[in-house]
Amino acid sequence: MGARKQVDAPPAEFAEAVSQLRGARFRPEVFVEEMPAPQRIAPHAAAVSADVTVDGDDIATGRLVILYDPDGNDAWQSTFRCVAYVRAAVEPEMVTDALLGGVGWTWLMEALADRGADFLAPSGTVTRVVSESFGGMADDEATAEIEIRASWSPVPGHGGIVDVTPHAEAWGEVLCTAAGLPPVPPGVVAMPTRRGQRGR
Protein backbone atom coordinates (compact mmCIF):
# COMPACT_ATOMS: atom_id res chain seq x y z
CA MET A 1 0.00 0.00 0.00
CA GLY A 2 2.88 2.31 0.85
CA ALA A 3 4.47 1.69 -2.54
CA ARG A 4 1.20 2.52 -4.26
CA LYS A 5 0.97 5.85 -2.47
CA GLN A 6 4.55 6.62 -3.44
CA VAL A 7 3.78 5.99 -7.12
CA ASP A 8 0.59 8.05 -7.06
CA ALA A 9 2.03 10.98 -5.12
CA PRO A 10 2.21 14.17 -7.22
CA PRO A 11 5.64 15.61 -7.99
CA ALA A 12 6.98 17.81 -5.20
CA GLU A 13 7.13 20.86 -7.52
CA PHE A 14 3.45 20.53 -8.38
CA ALA A 15 2.45 19.83 -4.76
CA GLU A 16 4.21 23.05 -3.75
CA ALA A 17 2.35 24.98 -6.46
CA VAL A 18 -0.97 23.65 -5.17
CA SER A 19 -0.02 24.77 -1.66
CA GLN A 20 0.85 28.23 -3.00
CA LEU A 21 -2.47 28.43 -4.83
CA ARG A 22 -4.33 27.56 -1.63
CA GLY A 23 -2.38 30.19 0.29
CA ALA A 24 -2.96 33.06 -2.15
CA ARG A 25 -4.61 36.12 -0.62
CA PHE A 26 -7.55 37.96 -2.16
CA ARG A 27 -9.79 40.91 -1.39
CA PRO A 28 -12.72 40.29 0.99
CA GLU A 29 -15.16 40.54 -1.92
CA VAL A 30 -13.56 37.53 -3.65
CA PHE A 31 -14.89 34.14 -2.58
CA VAL A 32 -12.59 31.35 -3.79
CA GLU A 33 -13.24 27.61 -3.83
CA GLU A 34 -11.32 24.64 -5.16
CA MET A 35 -12.95 22.91 -8.12
CA PRO A 36 -12.23 19.81 -10.23
CA ALA A 37 -9.38 20.45 -12.64
CA PRO A 38 -9.33 19.35 -16.29
CA GLN A 39 -7.68 15.94 -16.59
CA ARG A 40 -6.57 15.72 -20.23
CA ILE A 41 -4.65 18.93 -20.79
CA ALA A 42 -1.61 18.09 -18.66
CA PRO A 43 -0.39 15.26 -16.42
CA HIS A 44 -1.14 17.34 -13.31
CA ALA A 45 -3.64 20.16 -12.77
CA ALA A 46 -5.30 22.12 -9.97
CA ALA A 47 -8.13 24.63 -10.24
CA VAL A 48 -10.10 27.19 -8.27
CA SER A 49 -13.23 29.17 -9.04
CA ALA A 50 -14.15 32.58 -7.68
CA ASP A 51 -17.09 34.95 -7.38
CA VAL A 52 -16.82 38.65 -6.63
CA THR A 53 -19.71 39.45 -4.29
CA VAL A 54 -20.87 42.91 -3.22
CA ASP A 55 -23.98 43.43 -1.07
CA GLY A 56 -25.02 39.83 -1.70
CA ASP A 57 -24.81 40.10 -5.48
CA ASP A 58 -22.27 38.20 -7.61
CA ILE A 59 -20.87 40.79 -10.00
CA ALA A 60 -18.01 38.79 -11.51
CA THR A 61 -16.91 35.19 -11.74
CA GLY A 62 -13.83 33.34 -12.86
CA ARG A 63 -11.63 30.26 -12.86
CA LEU A 64 -7.90 29.68 -12.60
CA VAL A 65 -6.22 26.42 -13.59
CA ILE A 66 -2.59 25.57 -12.86
CA LEU A 67 -1.18 22.99 -15.28
CA TYR A 68 2.06 21.07 -14.75
CA ASP A 69 3.97 18.80 -17.10
CA PRO A 70 7.29 17.62 -15.62
CA ASP A 71 8.57 16.91 -19.14
CA GLY A 72 7.89 20.48 -20.24
CA ASN A 73 5.76 21.71 -23.11
CA ASP A 74 7.18 23.49 -26.16
CA ALA A 75 4.10 25.68 -26.53
CA TRP A 76 4.29 26.73 -22.88
CA GLN A 77 8.08 27.22 -22.92
CA SER A 78 7.86 25.91 -19.36
CA THR A 79 6.69 23.04 -17.16
CA PHE A 80 3.89 25.21 -15.73
CA ARG A 81 0.97 27.02 -17.38
CA CYS A 82 -1.71 29.26 -15.87
CA VAL A 83 -5.11 29.26 -17.60
CA ALA A 84 -7.51 31.98 -16.47
CA TYR A 85 -11.10 32.97 -17.15
CA VAL A 86 -12.87 36.15 -15.99
CA ARG A 87 -16.45 37.24 -16.69
CA ALA A 88 -18.08 40.42 -15.42
CA ALA A 89 -21.10 42.56 -16.17
CA VAL A 90 -20.44 45.95 -17.76
CA GLU A 91 -22.61 48.82 -18.89
CA PRO A 92 -24.20 48.00 -22.30
CA GLU A 93 -22.75 51.13 -23.88
CA MET A 94 -19.24 49.95 -23.00
CA VAL A 95 -19.37 46.99 -25.38
CA THR A 96 -19.57 49.36 -28.34
CA ASP A 97 -16.18 50.80 -27.40
CA ALA A 98 -13.64 49.30 -29.78
CA LEU A 99 -10.93 49.80 -27.14
CA LEU A 100 -12.60 47.61 -24.52
CA GLY A 101 -10.85 44.43 -25.68
CA GLY A 102 -7.44 46.03 -25.40
CA VAL A 103 -8.34 47.50 -22.03
CA GLY A 104 -9.35 44.06 -20.72
CA TRP A 105 -6.04 42.56 -21.82
CA THR A 106 -4.16 45.48 -20.23
CA TRP A 107 -5.88 44.74 -16.90
CA LEU A 108 -4.24 41.31 -16.90
CA MET A 109 -0.81 42.48 -18.04
CA GLU A 110 -0.75 45.26 -15.44
CA ALA A 111 -1.98 42.99 -12.65
CA LEU A 112 0.81 40.51 -13.36
CA ALA A 113 3.38 43.31 -13.47
CA ASP A 114 2.08 44.85 -10.23
CA ARG A 115 2.52 41.50 -8.47
CA GLY A 116 5.99 40.94 -9.90
CA ALA A 117 4.68 37.81 -11.63
CA ASP A 118 7.15 37.21 -14.46
CA PHE A 119 5.76 35.16 -17.35
CA LEU A 120 6.33 33.83 -20.85
CA ALA A 121 4.18 33.10 -23.90
CA PRO A 122 0.97 34.95 -22.97
CA SER A 123 -2.07 34.38 -25.16
CA GLY A 124 -5.78 34.96 -24.90
CA THR A 125 -8.96 36.62 -26.02
CA VAL A 126 -11.26 39.35 -24.73
CA THR A 127 -14.89 38.98 -25.73
CA ARG A 128 -17.68 41.54 -25.47
CA VAL A 129 -21.21 40.14 -25.19
CA VAL A 130 -24.48 42.09 -25.27
CA SER A 131 -27.92 40.52 -24.77
CA GLU A 132 -31.17 42.17 -25.84
CA SER A 133 -34.64 40.87 -25.01
CA PHE A 134 -37.67 40.66 -27.30
CA GLY A 135 -41.27 39.47 -27.32
CA GLY A 136 -42.55 38.65 -23.87
CA MET A 137 -39.21 39.78 -22.43
CA ALA A 138 -39.06 43.05 -24.33
CA ASP A 139 -39.31 45.07 -21.12
CA ASP A 140 -36.07 43.56 -19.78
CA GLU A 141 -33.09 45.85 -20.01
CA ALA A 142 -30.16 44.95 -22.24
CA THR A 143 -27.25 43.36 -20.43
CA ALA A 144 -23.58 43.25 -21.35
CA GLU A 145 -20.55 41.29 -20.19
CA ILE A 146 -16.82 41.15 -20.78
CA GLU A 147 -15.05 37.79 -20.87
CA ILE A 148 -11.29 37.42 -20.58
CA ARG A 149 -9.69 34.07 -21.43
CA ALA A 150 -5.94 33.95 -21.07
CA SER A 151 -2.99 31.69 -20.45
CA TRP A 152 0.65 32.31 -19.64
CA SER A 153 3.68 30.48 -18.28
CA PRO A 154 5.14 31.50 -14.90
CA VAL A 155 8.88 32.14 -14.97
CA PRO A 156 10.89 30.33 -12.28
CA GLY A 157 12.47 32.54 -9.63
CA HIS A 158 15.50 31.97 -7.45
CA GLY A 159 16.72 28.39 -7.53
CA GLY A 160 14.62 27.65 -10.59
CA ILE A 161 11.44 27.34 -8.48
CA VAL A 162 8.07 28.56 -9.77
CA ASP A 163 5.91 30.54 -7.32
CA VAL A 164 2.30 30.64 -8.52
CA THR A 165 1.14 32.88 -5.66
CA PRO A 166 1.58 36.24 -7.46
CA HIS A 167 -0.03 34.81 -10.58
CA ALA A 168 -3.11 33.70 -8.63
CA GLU A 169 -3.33 37.03 -6.85
CA ALA A 170 -3.03 38.90 -10.16
CA TRP A 171 -5.98 36.88 -11.49
CA GLY A 172 -7.94 37.90 -8.39
CA GLU A 173 -7.08 41.53 -9.08
CA VAL A 174 -8.35 41.26 -12.66
CA LEU A 175 -11.62 39.84 -11.35
CA CYS A 176 -12.08 42.88 -9.14
CA THR A 177 -11.06 45.35 -11.84
CA ALA A 178 -13.47 43.80 -14.33
CA ALA A 179 -16.20 43.98 -11.68
CA GLY A 180 -15.58 47.71 -11.37
CA LEU A 181 -14.26 47.68 -7.80
CA PRO A 182 -11.95 50.57 -6.90
CA PRO A 183 -8.27 49.73 -6.28
CA VAL A 184 -7.29 48.74 -2.74
CA PRO A 185 -5.64 51.71 -0.98
CA PRO A 186 -1.91 51.35 -0.26
CA GLY A 187 -1.22 49.57 3.02
CA VAL A 188 -4.46 47.59 3.07
CA VAL A 189 -3.79 43.88 3.51
CA ALA A 190 -5.74 41.31 1.48
CA MET A 191 -7.52 38.53 3.32
CA PRO A 192 -6.70 34.81 3.22
CA THR A 193 -8.67 32.69 0.79
CA ARG A 194 -12.15 31.86 2.05
CA ARG A 195 -13.42 28.35 1.48
CA GLY A 196 -16.54 26.35 2.16
CA GLN A 197 -20.05 27.75 2.36
CA ARG A 198 -20.32 31.49 2.21
CA GLY A 199 -22.47 33.24 4.76
CA ARG A 200 -25.36 35.38 3.63
**Residue 30, in any domain of the structure:** yes
Q: Which of 33, 120, 130 is nearest to 89 (CA)?
A: 130
Q: Is residue 184 part of a domain?
A: no
With respect to residue 42, please indicate whether it lies within any of the assigned structural domains. yes
Q: What is the pLDDT along the chain (200 residues), one digit of tens a residue?
A: 444 344 467 899 999 999 999 999 999 999 999 999 998 899 999 999 999 998 888 899 999 999 999 999 999 999 999 999 999 988 777 766 777 789 999 999 999 999 999 999 999 999 988 777 677 777 777 778 899 999 999 998 777 789 999 999 999 999 999 999 988 665 554 444 444 334 43
137 in a structural domain: yes
| Residue 160 counted as domain residue | yes
Per the structure, the count of domains in the chain is 1
Is 46 part of a structural domain of the chain?
yes
> 135: number of CA atoms within 13 Å, CB side?
1
Strands (E), the chain: 25-26, 30-35, 44-54, 57-73, 78-90, 119-131, 143-154, 191-192
Tell me the residue range of the domain where 148 lies.
12-179
Q: Is residue 191 part of a domain?
A: no
